[in-house]
Amino acid sequence: MLSLKLPRLLSSSQVPQGYQELGILFGYRHPRSSATDCLLSVFQMTNETLNIWTHFVPTCCAHTFSTMSSRARHICYFFDYAALGTYSLGSALAYSAYIFPKEWVNGTFHCCYVPVAVFNAVVSISLSCYSRFLEVERPRLSKASRTLAFAYPYLFDSIPLFYRFYLCAVESCTEAVIVVHYKHTALAFLTCFVFASHLPERLAPGHFDYIGHSHQVFHVCGIIGTHFQMEAIRMDMTERHDWLLATSTLPSALQTLGLMGICIAISLAVIGLCSVSLSFMPEPLQTEKLHGH
């Protein structure tokens, strides 16, 4: 009978600093894992197993193959950050088309909104990728830069939605979609808080190594929040359909697919530049002793 030997797991003291997570003490995969070991770890309980599976359906491989080498780890996460930046632009395109306050439709801010969102997406991707170069020497600045890179595009994209919240509070509106937007917004802020705070594992190191640590909660909250976001956009699109057709100019293919294509092309260029720049960074395993090899 064919039997496969699962990769041995390590403690935080046995992996380089760049691989260690605050409050996570055990369950680390070897930082020089083979591709086979990475695939086998998908079915092994490690401190990244649930991270992998909460990304598995959209085929995001950042967590799965991030332990093949230091270079592979960086490149995997470069693609992950590019996906998040592109998502922020997709949100802006949908918001521009369907959720803008009626008073703002076809106004100056509405006309500038998507071009600024494209710029924000490029800055977000560039800053989050650059933050990985700061991880070892300036970990706090790295974390702060990455959090800012994720949070700023969301806050800008949400300006029209925040204004609708304000109008609803002042005028006591009865739009059912606002409740769904509230749910998405609450989960978005919870996602950011969990990502930045490393809760709950920092309060009880070692107790949430495999299940319940912040990165898992970050993924789950993000997924649920995205569900509510898509549902709210669908409701706005349906309820405002006739009004939008009568008062707003429909975006062209260039203004949607074209801009997404441009953003993806720039993202790939940023990833390529950052990947080449990794050659000038020392390999962690060459500068730090790996115990238990």
Write out the residue range of the structural domain in which residue 52 sits: 31-68
pLDDT tens-digit readout, 50-103: 998 887 555 587 888 989 998 999 999 999 999 999 999 999 999 999 999 999
Residue 137 sits in the same domain as residue 47: no
Tell me whether residue 272 is in a domain.
yes
Tell me whether residue 184 is in a domain.
yes
Does this model's pTM top 0.85? My answer is yes
Tell me whether residue 268 is in a domain.
yes
Confidence of residue 48 (pLDDT cuts 50, 70, 90): very high
Q: Which of 68, 96, 122 is the last residue of a domain?
A: 68
Query: Which has the closest alpha carbon to 125: 277, 270, 276?
Result: 270
Total domains present in the chain: 2
Residue 131 sits in the same domain as residue 64: no
Residue 97 CA to chain centroid, in angstroms? 23
Tell me whether residue 150 is in a domain.
yes
Residue 84 sits in the same domain as residue 208: yes
- What integer pLDDT is reported at residue 282 of this predicted model? 57
